[in-house]
Structure 1
Amino acid sequence: MNTINPGYVVVEGPIGVGKTSLAMRLADAFGAQPLLEQPQENPFLERFYQSRKQFALPTQLFFLFQRARQIEPLKQSDMFNNGYVADFLLDKDRLFARANLDDDELRLYEQVYAQMSLHLPVPDLVIYLQAPVEVLHERMRRRGVEYERRIDREYLQLLVDAYTQFFHHYTAAPLLVVNAERINIVDNDDDFQMLLSHIRKIRSGRHFLNPLAASL
C-alpha cells in the first residue's frame, strides 16, 4: 500500500468516533474514492432510535441492502485502479444484527444475508477507532444530529462492547487499532501524519496506535 494506490482501506468504529471524517480525509490523501454509509437514506433509522425493538429488523435489512449495493463496484477487476476508502465493513453488519434483533428476527436476517451470496474482496487494511462512551457521547452532542440525541449511554456501551469483541477475534485483514480518545486525526495535521506513517508500515498482522500511552 502507498499514497498513490492504497487498494481497499476500511475505517470502522462505533458511532461518534469519527470514522466517516477520517475515511474522507484518507481518501483525499490517497487520491482514492470514498465509499461512505448513507444513514440519512434509511427511512427507519429515526424511528429505530425512538423504539429500537419495533424497528430493529427493517432498519437492519435496509442497511444490509444499502451496504451490499454500495460495495458492488468492489467486485470488478479494476477496483484497485484508484483505490477505495470505506467507512464501513460489511462483516460488522452482523454485529448490529446480534445486538438489536430477537432470535426469530436474527434467523430471518441470517437467511437473507446468506441468500445474497456476497463474495467480496478482503480489505488491504482495516482501521478500528476506539474511544470511551463518554467521549463518543460528547462528540455526538457537539455534532447535533437530531436522532442521535435519543441514543442513551447504555445502548452506546452495548455497541462499544460489541465492537471490542468483534475486533478482538477479527483476522480477515491487517488491522490497525487506534486509540482515538485524545487525538484529532481529522483536523490536526500532526496527528493525521502520525497515523499515515503507521499505515504505510503495515503489510500484515495486528497493530496498535496509542498516542496517550506514548505521551505518559
Structure 2
Amino acid sequence: MNQIPFIAVEGPIGVGKSSLSKKLASYFELHLLKEIVEENPFLGKFYDDIDEWSFQTEMFFLCNRYKQLEEIEKKYLKLKKSVIADYHISKNMIFAKRTLPEKQFNKYSEIYHILTQDMPKPNVMIYIDASLETLLDRIHLRGREVEKNIQPAYLAQLSQDYQVFMAEFERMNPTIPVIRINGDEMDFVKEQQDLKLIIEQVKEYVKEGEVIL
C-alpha cells in the first residue's frame, strides 16, 4: 500500500536529528517539521533542577508538538504533501517516564494519550544512535545555552531509554520500516559519502512522492 511520506528522525540529544532531517528534506523535497527546543522557557531550568521543572518542561513540549502535528496534518498530509520531522511524538513518553514522579507521570500519560490518539503517525522511522562521548562532543560543538548543564549521567540513561523504546517500537509497529544509523561510524554532516549512503537507504521507501511499503 502506498502512502504519502511522513518520515520521523529520532535519537538521543545531540545525535544529529535536525541536521539529517534538513539534508533529507532538501534532497527529497519534503516539508521539514522541526521540533521546538530552545523556545521552551522551562528547559534551561530543567537541566539545572530536573525534579523541580520536569512537569512544566514536558507539558510545554507535549502541547507544542500536538499543535505542530495538528497543523501538519491539515496543511500537508491531508493535501498529499510529504513531510519529514526531526522527532516522533512518542519521544514525550521516553522523557516523561525518566523525569516525572509516578503521580505526575500518570496524569501526564492520560493527557498524552488523549491528545495523540488521533494524531498522524510517521510511516517511516530513521533512528540515529551514538556513544555518550559522541553525544557530548556534538552538544558541546553546537553550543546551545539551554544545554550547557546537561549531566553526562542523564544523557547516558536517556540513550539507554531510547534503545529500549526503539526495540519496543519495532515490536509494536512491524509494518513501519526503521532505518538504523550508527552515529559513531557515520558523519552525515561532514562526510558526503556517508550522507549518500543514508539517502540510498531512504530511497528504498520513498519514490516519486510515495512511501513504498
Q: Assess same fold via TM > 0.5.
A: yes
Which residue does the alignment assign to 1:130?
Answer: 129
* Contact 1:31-1:82 within 8 A present in 2 as well: no
Pick from 177, 188, 191 the counterpart of residue 180 of structure 2.
177
Which residue does the alignment assign to 1:7?
Answer: 5
Deviations 1:32-67 (A, max 9, x none): 110001111111000001100000000000000010
Pick from 38, 41, 45 the counterpart of residue 39 of structure 2.
41
Percent sequence identity over aligned pairs = 30
1:159 CA drift (Å):
0.4
Matched residue SS, 2:55? helix
Higher relative contact order (CA 8 A, sep 6+): 2
In structure 1, give the amino acid aligned to 2:125.
V
* Contact 1:27-1:33 within 8 A present in 2 as well: yes
* Contact 1:6-1:32 within 8 A present in 2 as well: no
- Tell me if 1:25 matches 2:23: yes
Which residue does the alignment assign to 1:145?
Answer: 144
In structure 2, give the amino acid aligned to 1:38.
I
CA distance in 2, matches of 1:112, 1:198: 36
Pairs within 5 Å for 1:22-171? 22-76=20-74, 79=77, 81-171=80-170
Matched residue SS, 1:150? coil
Aligned length: 202
The unaligned stretches of length 5 or more in structure 2 are 206-211
Deviations 1:131-187 (A, max 9, x none): 001110011111111221211110001100000000011132211111111321133
Deviations 1:2-47 (A, max 9, x none): xxx9711111000000000111111111111100011111110000
CA distance in 2, matches of 1:122, 1:142: 32
Matched residue SS, 1:85? strand
In structure 1, give the amino acid aligned to 2:20.
L
* TM-score normalised to structure 1 length: 0.87
Which residue does the alignment assign to 2:201?
Answer: 198
CA distance in 1, matches of 2:83, 2:156: 30
CA distance in 2, matches of 1:56, 1:78: 32
CA distance in 2, matches of 1:117, 1:144: 32
- Measured at CA, do residues 182 and 6 of structure 1 come closer, stay the same or move farther in structure 2, by a change above 3 Å? farther
CA distance in 1, matches of 2:73, 2:59: 21
* Contact 1:74-1:120 within 8 A present in 2 as well: no
